[in-house]
């Protein structure tokens, strides 16, 4: 098997939703969904969790992930980026186990809506077309070209030239689904987004960013819609 690694970054600190990465989501810690999906897709030689928190580490191992080392203090604060974390993982595997992975997928721990078929599609797209990285996107639900801004209480269009343009004639715009990133570690240095990055497009019901309690409830509703037949 090719050496493919899944990295699930899950530090202990969480400001907006305390203990967010292991908070109960419909009966089990939310991180369990990312771990189980990564294990079930059969693509990875290792599914590891990068964390600085012993409780998260123990829960991760209980659901089948490996935690071969804890994250460094430098990459456990609010300022550490995803790239900082994944590059640390790469270095540690090389230094400790002399293991270099051909392809890596960073999967966020609070993405319970991820699907194995999407992980497979992202991997296939990256390998077959030679992209540096691939991640899922979702279209904005309302055309951003009709965006408004408010100044001194008065509202005006950001792009007034689009005021009378039909919605269907406006170019579609997408945003990051915030679920996972496939990447080639030999081509990624400072950013997971390069001039040779591609995407797969998901539907709005398959995506939910979770930053607030209301986001959490919406994610639970979408999960039930998708999986509880």
For 16-53, write each residue's pLDDT tens digit: 889 999 999 999 999 999 999 999 999 999 999 999 99
Q: Is the pLDDT of residue 128 over 50?
A: yes
**Nearest residue to 6 (alpha-carbon basis) of 87, 53, 85, 65:** 65
Q: Is the pLDDT of residue 125 over 90?
A: yes
How confident is the model at residue 1, as a pLDDT?
42
For 45-83, write each residue's pLDDT tens digit: 999 999 999 999 999 999 999 999 999 999 998 888 999
For 84-112, write each residue's pLDDT tens digit: 999 999 999 999 999 999 999 999 999 99
Burial string for 8-43 (b: 16+ CB within 10 Å, else e) reads: bbbbbeeeebeebbbeebeeebbbbbbbbbbbebeb
For 161-173, write each residue's pLDDT tens digit: 999 999 899 999 9
């Amino acid at each position: 098997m090719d050496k493919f690694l899944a990295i699930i970054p899950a530090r202990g600190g969480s400001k907006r939703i305390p203990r967010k990465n292991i908070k109960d989501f419909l009966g089990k810690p939310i991180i369990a969904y990312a771990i189980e999906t990564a294990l079930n897709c059969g693509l990875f030689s290792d599914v590891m969790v990068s964390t600085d928190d012993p409780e998260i580490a123990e829960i991760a191992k209980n659901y089948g992930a490996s935690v071969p080392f804890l994250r460094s203090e430098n990459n456990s604060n609010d300022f550490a980026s995803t790239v900082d974390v994944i590059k640390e993982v790469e270095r540690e595997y090389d230094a400790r186990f002399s293991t270099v992975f051909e392809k890596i997928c960073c999967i966020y721990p609070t993405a319970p809506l991820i699907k194995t078929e999407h992980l497979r599609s992202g991997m296939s797209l990256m390998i077959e077309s030679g992209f540096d990285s691939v991640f899922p996107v979702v279209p904005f639900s309302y055309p951003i070209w009709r965006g408004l801004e408010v100044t001194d209480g008065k509202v005006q269009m950001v792009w007034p030239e689009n005021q009378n343009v039909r919605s269907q004639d406006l170019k579609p715009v997408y945003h990051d689904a915030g679920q996972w990133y496939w990447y080639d570690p030999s081509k990624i240095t400072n950013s997971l987004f390069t001039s040779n990055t591609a995407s797969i497009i998901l539907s709005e019901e398959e995506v939910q960013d979770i930053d607030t309690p209301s986001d959490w409830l919406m994610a639970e509703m979408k999960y039930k819609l998708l999986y509880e037949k």
